[in-house]
Amino acid sequence: MVENRPLLTIFSHIMLLFGVAVIALPIWIMFVAASHPEIRMTQVPLPMLPGGYFFENLDIALNRGMSGMDGNGVAYMMLNSLIMAMMIAVGKIAISLLSAFAIVYFRFPFRMFFFWMIFVTLMLPVEVRILPTYEVVANLGMLDSYWGLSIPLIASATATFMFRQVFLTIPDEMLEAARIDGAGPMRFFWDILIPMSRTNIAALFVILFIYGWNQYLWPLLITSEPGMYTVVMGIKQMLEAAEQVPQWNVIMMTALLAMLPPIFVVIFMQSLFVKGLTETEK
């Protein structure tokens, strides 16, 4: 701080608290709605303070679901989301590490061609090529499968770029020393490159986990079997059903469940999260 202005400092805190309140309001309302019985959710005005029905709603959402959902709770949807998010995050990191290693540490024909080919994927988000990608996945028989959910989202230029950047900062002496000690390329990769980029891998994992967990359009297209639904899709299904029976308590509980894992990741791995976010955008 440049100068001491107590009034301005107090004003700053007030503004920040106001900002936090605006940001937190939707979450608070969701939490309150998730803690009241269904009957209370039909009386206007809706409550602003939490009720005592939280765990009952949790049980309904996880194990039974809404009426009209054939008694399927969202527990298995959470599991599907987890599997999809993990497959996307781990898969992206694995293939990007390998290709970045090849591009930085090897001289081989078509090297720049491959590099540009990967670069192009940066420009084609799934939203703009949904129909033909859907056809490819359908032809490969990957509809309604974890492979179909994750593999088309796995290729990404951002992760490859980030690892390329990281590898370029690793001193050449590392490779020279490894070579003198008789290490081959894969040995060098496993024992030196991977340990040296451990924090970058972790940071990227945090970002990719959130990205994978929150996927919506793609799972919506390629899953038709309720057993493959993800929890984010589940919310939409419930909202559609809500037009007949508004069970907002269960819907809001599901929304809460859907956002908990990524929020935990952001809050408890905050420094990794910030690092991942700022570095993938470079």
Partner 1 sequence: MLKNVHFGPSVLPFLLVFPQIVVTLVFFIWPASQALYQSLLLEDAFGLKTEFVWFKNFEELIHDPLYWSSFEITVVFSFLVAFLSMSFALVLAIFADRVIKGSGAYRTLLIWPYAVAPVTAGALWVFMFNPTLGIISYALSALGYEWNHQLNGGEAMALVVMASAWKQVAYNFLFFLAGLQSIPKSLIEAAAIDGAGPLRRTFDIILPLLSPTTFFLLVINIVYAFFETFGVIHVVTAGGPAGATNILVYKVFNDGFVGLDLGGSAAQSVILMIIVIGLTVIQFKYVEKRVAY
The most distant pair of C-alpha atoms in the chain lies apart, rounded to whole Å, by 77
Interaction between residue 15 and partner 1 (CB under 8 A): yes
Interaction between residue 243 and partner 1 (CB under 8 A): no
Residue 115 neighbours by CB under 8 Å, 6+ apart = 103
Give the count of residues interacting with partner 1 (CB under 8 A).
106
Burial 45-57 (b: 16+ CB within 10 A, else e): eeeeeeeebbeeb
d(CA 3, CA 239): 52
Interaction between residue 41 and partner 1 (CB under 8 A): yes
Interaction between residue 210 and partner 1 (CB under 8 A): yes
* Least gap, CB of 64 to partner 1 (angstroms): 19
Residues in contact with partner 1, shown as a per-residue x/- string from 82 to 121 under the rule CB under 8 A? ------------xxx-xx-xxxxxxxxx-x--x--xx-xx
Interaction between residue 39 and partner 1 (CB under 8 A): no
| Nearest CA among 179, 189, 207, 170 for reference residue 281 | 207
Q: What are 153's two structure tokens?
A: 């989202």
Task: List C-alpha distances in Å: 238 to 73, 84, 90, 250.
Answer: 11, 21, 30, 9
Q: Are 226 and 73 in contact (CB under 8 A)?
A: no
Among 59, 129, 194, 224, binds partner 1 (CB under 8 A): 129
* Least gap, CB of 125 to partner 1 (angstroms): 5
CB closer to partner 1 out of 12 and 63: 12
Interaction between residue 185 and partner 1 (CB under 8 A): yes
Residues in contact with partner 1, shown as a per-residue x/- string from 155 to 174 under the rule CB under 8 A? x----x---x--xx---x--
Q: What are 133's two structure tokens?
A: 């990608």
CB closer to partner 1 out of 1 and 182: 1
3-state secondary structure at position 5: coil
Among 52, 55, 70, 128, binds partner 1 (CB under 8 A): 128
Q: CB under 8 A: which stretch of 14-22, 52-60, 68-76, 197-205 binds partner 1?
A: 14-22
Measured in degrees and rounded to the nearest 5, phi and psi for residue 53 equal -115, 20
Among 4, 186, 195, 225, binds partner 1 (CB under 8 A): 186
CB closer to partner 1 out of 78 and 258: 258
